Structure 1
Amino acid sequence: MNRTSVEGTWDLTVSTPIGTLKAVVELRASGGELTGVAHGAGEKVPLTDVELDGDRLTWRQAVTKPLRLNLAFAVTVDGDTLAGTSRAGRLPASKVTGSRRTATSADGS
């Protein structure tokens, strides 16, 4: 799997002990590097340490809502879906699932 194969806008669902959270992650390949931002809970945060190793995608992000946390994501990408976990420090891992937005779903048709 190459970096451009994970580019796009992904709708994520994170099942946490305090409830299900929805987020949107935008991934772009630029100059051989993967970059991205996450939107959720009224904030937009940059992704750091974005790495793709085979079909395993990892990244880190800091959030302030609903709590101030540093999150580490590790997911497996399979076409237009992904599944894995998110960890916040010593807290138990939360299940993450996601799907890539297609051109038709992005424009509402």
Structure 2
Amino acid sequence: MSVDGTWNVTVNSPMGPQPSTLTIKAEGGALTGTQSAQGNSQPIANGKVDGNNVSWSNSITTPFPMTLEFSGAVDGDKISGSVKAGAFGSFPFSGSRA
């Protein structure tokens, strides 16, 4: 099953669930796309795909400027993993194909 598509992703952070929409496309070992949250949409960076494993980063400004580093795996129509939020530590994320 391809990782390509649109995903509804929720990060379980200390500030509560943080939903976002992730649209990704694998091209060889590279992962490209956009992530939208809180009314802002921007391209993902450092995207990589290896089989069902995916990773990417996304810079945010709200509630604090930081780079979020996502690492996870696609299993059919589900995606899950963890996101490193700078000095705030790592939090789980999960989602499903939209």
Is the shorter-chain TM-score for this pair beyond 0.5, marking a shared fold?
Answer: yes
In 2, Cα distance between equivalents of 1:90 and 1:67 = 11
Bigger radius of gyration among the two: 1
1:26-41 aligned at under 5 Å gives the runs: 26-30=23-27, 32=28, 33-41=30-38
1:39-85 superposed Cα distances (whole Å, 9 cap, x missing partner): 00111111011111222110011011222110000011101101110
Which consecutive residues of structure 2, in runs of 5 or more, have no partner in the other structure? Answer: none
Amino acid across the alignment from 2:72 = V
Out of 85, 88, 106, the position equivalent to 2:85 is 88
Identity percentage of aligned residues: 35
Q: Hey, which bits of structure 1, 4+ residues long, moved more than 2 A?
A: none
Count matched residues: 97
Alpha carbons 1:41, 1:66 under 8 Å: kept: no
Which consecutive residues of structure 1, in runs of 5 or more, have no partner in the other structure? Answer: 102-109
Higher helix fraction: Structure 1 or Structure 2?
1
Cα-Cα RMSD: 1.4
The answer to whether the aligner puts 1:72 opposite 2:54 as a matched pair is: no
Higher strand fraction: Structure 1 or Structure 2?
2
